[in-house]
Amino acid sequence: MTAPAARRRLSPRAKAALGIFARYATIVGLVAMIVAFSLVSPRAFPTLNNFTNVLNQASLTMIIAAGLTLAVIVGELDLSIGFAASLHGILVTGLIVSNQLPIPVAVAIVLVAGAVIGLINGLIVTKIKVNSVIATLGVGTILTGLAFAYSAGVPIVSGVPEDFLQLSLGRWLFGIPNNILIMVVVLGGLWTLVERTAIGQEIQAVGGNPSAARLAGIDTDRIKILGFVISGVCAALTGILLASRLGSGTASAADGYLLTAFAAVFLGSATLRDGEFHVLGTLIGALIIAFGFNGLNIFGAPTFSQYVLQGAILIVAVGLSSLGRSISES
Amino acid sequence: MVRSPAAPFLIAEGVAKAFGGAQALSDVSLAMAPGEVHGLVGANGAGKSTLIRILAGLVTPDRGRIRLDGEDITVSSPQHATALGMSFIHQELAFIPGMTVLQNIMLGVPKATRFGMIDWGRIAREVEPVARRVGITAPLSSNVKGLSTAENWLINICRALVRKARLIVMDEPTASLSASESRKLFAIVEDLARSGVAVLYVSHRLDEILRLCDRVTVFRDGRSVAGFARAELSHAGLVEAIVGGAVRRTTKPAEPPPQGVVALKVSNLARRPKVEGVSFDLHHGEVLGIGGLVGAGRSELARLIYGADAPDTGTMELDGAPYAPHRPADAVAAGLGLVPEERRADGLVLTKSVAFNLTIPNLAKIVHSPLLPLIDDRRRSALAEQTVRDLAIKTTGIEAPVGRLSGGNQQKVVIGRWLIRAPKVLILDEPTRGVDIGARGEIHRLIRDLAAEGVAVLVISSEPDEQPDLCDRVLVMVEGRIVRELKGAELTRQAIIEASYARAAAAEETPS
Ligand SMILES: Nc1ncnc2c1ncn2[C@@H]1O[C@H](COP(=O)(O)OP(=O)(O)OP(=O)(O)O)[C@@H](O)[C@H]1O
Ligand SMILES: [Mg+2]
């Protein structure tokens, strides 16, 4: 009943049509964009090389956005992910360069740190009952402070071993970039977790109706904490891969991922399902954003236009998502 | 009360509507005359709410015509329905919690303005007498958030009157009202009819229909199968028309079964001010009723037992072992199940499928193995299909979103999820609210079967006939305390009602 009057006046048939539009609009948009760019720039855009490149770049966004998807499925927002990823980038380079730790150990420590940050977010939200926007914004800001404290404001650039750079820059299996392989494993794993496992059913129930889920015997706090932990681990992984790609640990290097991840998640929720968050949708959302920016780059669009596009995509994404939801509810 | 028959002003004829593959309405007709109370009855999923949604402009019919004052109309939107003088109080009420009573009453009504600003002062003066007439006691400026369901209903009726509706449609109005609130509502309905308003009244409670209605239309499987004038009305005739045959009465064993072992022992459980120290034993194989008025603290007691709220004092034992759940998950793990009072808010994930909702507490049964907790689709479908069959849940399939099911069928899904589990203790809070008379018998039989298998069942109900039919024993609760235990021959509808009012009456006689 809270839907604006304009929407209520739609005929049921128009509403059904609109529903289909909302569901497939993102996919149609993605295909249309690829076709359009290919026609305009047949030599630079539609090449295997460029596509691999786009996917490679997008992999980091996809990983962090897939993690965020888990947090939003359980009905919470995690605004700490970008700041956390920046801190993790510094942390992993610091552990390798300053503390001389072997790369696998450093990576493992940082992944655990990501899980701990997620755990803290989850505990604040479920036990102290702080709104997740406030809680994760607070935690994120503290993490930024820690990042500056740890690096003393100076990026760690020298002494980063080649092996660590290879983590992100290397290729494996038919020469596919590592980033893409890692992304596929992470997203495949999360998709399976959410869609195919018992705990995934509980995750979806908590997101769909927390009160009903609780009374059906689900430990809703535990599930919400799990959502934050997964989000935190994915942020850590993105931070590590970004540091490897940049060859440095820089405070606030990954802050921008926050907005992109949100845009991908909301675009994704408007995809195939009526405003429901899901991992496959997030993947498609991230692809749209990646190809959009790639196109702008190829055409040499000025930097400011990237910000404009980013903001516009976020608004359109949230709009489509809530349109889908209101249709499925009516 | 005999009212003079008038010519119908609203006629629906041959209306049909399919949702995807589901034929919700095949061919229904209905005629409404001014000043009449018209009952609309039928089993769950018969199509009552669908016809109402068509009249309200929320759904477009596939076929059929609707005539108002002799002219064919198409109701294109809720605003259009309002303009045509029709007002609706739907099965599931919707409110805007942040707003005042007055704002909710005036929702969608053109408002008087002064210098372009809404003149709330003048509106309040105009609405005030109407609000008092329907019995709203809360100040118009108070927030609707704290109001009871009954008061929400009154607000809706008041809104209809302010809009000067000729037709007011009420979809299961008494489903969440107490007995005294219901009586007030009946008086209002009769008053409305006397003033010439037509009321379309949907209910599964046939005693209400018999008492209130001048005419009754019966739907079955999307068709209007019978119409009765007041003189022709009888309980048996209505039941026959609704289910298309006879109904099996509840099969409560004539002799109460020998009391089994104590399953749940509750000692001095309290959460003030709603629950003021309650003690009782619940036995395996027993159906124990908790009777009393709405607001007596029964649902709150259920929540304490289930770990949904924390008690101030008191202890519990389950099968002889200490039992102190901190959250419902603990209760479920210990072998309890709860069918909550508010199925849409607390029972179901409405956007998810029937299968999803049935299997939520039963995930261990549908995974490949504990070590490989991946969902086995075959087991999931088999389990869901089986439950849908056992409970005769009317749905297009197990993958249909549960929110699309009719009210009674949604209730069956919530019950079904626990039947799969066969818990030690099952608590049912208003198990047959909104459930049709045939399905009600089915649910009662399922409950008795569970008890026969040794499950300890606790049934909270506000429907006066339900507990004598179903329960071996009833504890009557008044103001957070158990005041009476009824069993055997003394367990009657009358005894429950008397005990429910006992304490309140005593308190009135001796003011402290
Ligand atoms: N939006 C919808 N999509 C699909 N099926 C629907 C939809 N709305 C109703 N139905 C189906 O139409 C049938 C009639 O439903 P309706 O709600 O009108 O029944 P009802 O008579 O009001 O039942 P109850 O007494 O349980 O409220 C049901 O089988 C229901 O599942
Ligand atoms: Mg209905």
Q: Give the pLDDT score at A299.
A: 78
| CA end-to-end distance (rounded Å), chain B | 41
Assigned domain for B1 exists? no
**Chain segment B249-303, per-residue pLDDT in tens:** 655 666 666 677 899 999 999 998 889 989 999 999 999 999 887 778 898 999 9
ipTM over 0.90: no
Q: Give the pLDDT score at B130.
A: 82
Q: Residue A77 is encoded by which pair of tokens?
A: 């927002």
Question: Which of B329, B351, B375 is opposite residue A197, by nearest beta carbon?
Answer: B375
Nearest residue of A to residue B332 by CA position?
A: A217
Assigned domain for B252 exists? no
Q: Give the pLDDT score at A217.
A: 93
Rounded Cα distance between B87 and B166, Å, is 8
Q: In a 10 Å sphere around its CB, with 0-12 CB exposed, 13-18 middle and 19+ buried, how is residue B385 labelled? A: middle
Q: Give the pLDDT score at B252.
A: 65
- Hey, which residues 112-171 in chain A have their CB within 8 Å of chain B? none
Assigned domain for A20 exists? no
Assigned domain for A314 exists? no
Identify whether the C-beta of residue A78 lies closer than 8 Å to the C-beta of residue A209: no
Same structural domain for residues B144 and B40?
yes
Distance of CA B90 to the CA centre of its chain: 12
Assigned domain for B24 exists? yes
Distances B183 to B159, B170, B180, B186 between C-alpha atoms, Å: 20, 15, 5, 5
Rounded Cα distance between B288 and B451, Å, is 10
Ligand 1 pocket mutation, candidates B23, B30, B50, B176, criterion most atoms within 8 A of CB? B50
Same structural domain for residues B187 and B293?
no
Smallest Cα distance from A207 to chain B, Å: 9
Same structural domain for residues B188 and B291?
no
Q: Give the pLDDT score at B248.
A: 59
Residues of B in contact with A329 (CB under 8 A): 351
Closest residue by CA, ligand 1 atom 16: B47
Assigned domain for A9 exists? no
Same structural domain for residues B454 and B344?
yes
Greater model confidence, B509 or B448: B448
**Chain segment B160-210, per-residue pLDDT in tens:** 888 888 999 988 888 767 777 788 888 888 988 998 899 999 988 888 899
Give the pLDDT band of residue B311 (cuts 50, 70, 90). very high
Same structural domain for residues B322 and B182?
no
Helix (H, G, I), strand (E, B) or coil at B229: strand
Residue B2 in this model has a pLDDT that exceeds 60? no
Q: Under an 8 A CB cutoff, do A199 and B329 touch?
A: no
Pairing status of strand B71-73 against strand B86-89: unpaired
Other residues' Cβ atoms within 10 Å of the Cβ of residue B411: 27
| Mean pLDDT, rounded, of chain B | 85
Q: Under an 8 A CB cutoff, do B366 and A13 touch?
A: no
Assigned domain for B410 exists? yes
Q: Under an 8 A CB cutoff, do A211 and B363 touch?
A: no
Q: What is the mean pLDDT of residues B135-161?
A: 78
Give the pLDDT band of residue B1 (cuts 50, 70, 90). very low
Identify whether the C-beta of residue B358 lies closer than 8 Å to the C-beta of residue B384: yes
Q: Give the pLDDT score at A224.
A: 97
The fraction of chain B above a pLDDT of 70, given in percent, is 90
Give the CATH number of the domain where residue B62 resides. Answer: 3.40.50.300
Nearest to B436 by CA among B402, B461, B412, B465: B412
Smallest Cα distance from A148 to chain B, Å: 41
Q: Under an 8 A CB cutoff, do A198 and B329 touch?
A: no
pLDDT in tens, chain A (330 residues): 333 333 344 555 666 677 677 678 788 888 888 898 888 888 888 888 888 989 998 999 999 999 999 999 999 999 999 999 999 999 999 899 888 899 999 999 999 999 999 999 999 999 999 999 999 999 999 999 998 888 877 777 777 888 888 888 888 888 889 999 999 999 999 999 999 999 999 999 999 999 999 999 999 999 999 999 999 999 999 999 999 998 887 888 888 899 999 999 988 887 777 778 999 999 999 999 898 888 888 777 787 887 888 788 888 878 877 777 776 655
Burial B418-437 (b: 16+ CB within 10 A, else e): bbbbebbbbbbbbbbbbbbb
Q: Give the pLDDT score at A2.
A: 36
Ligand 1 pocket mutation, candidates B27, B49, B55, criterion most atoms within 8 A of CB? B49
Same structural domain for residues B415 and B494?
yes
Give the pLDDT band of residue B401 (cuts 50, 70, 90). very high
Assigned domain for B259 exists? no
Same structural domain for residues B124 and B171?
yes
Q: Please give the residue range of the domain that contains residue A159.
A: 41-254
Rounded Cα distance between B465 and B471, Å, is 11
Assigned domain for B302 exists? yes
Nearest residue of A to residue B377 by CA position?
A: A196
Q: Please give the residue range of the domain that contains residue B167.
A: 10-243
**Chain segment B462-490, per-residue pLDDT in tens:** 876 788 888 999 999 988 889 889 988 88
Q: Give the pLDDT score at B103.
A: 81
Q: Give the pLDDT score at A236.
A: 96
C-alpha B148 to ligand 2 mean position (Å): 21
Rounded Cα distance between B211 and B207, Å, is 6
Rounded Cα distance between B262 and B454, Å, is 11
Residues of A in contact with B333 (CB under 8 A): 217
**Chain segment B222-246, per-residue pLDDT in tens:** 899 888 988 888 888 888 888 876 6
**Chain segment B331-385, per-residue pLDDT in tens:** 999 999 999 988 888 999 998 999 999 999 999 899 888 888 899 999 999 999 9
Tally the domains of chain B: 2
Q: Which residue has the tokens 């998810």?
A: B352
Tally the domains of chain A: 1
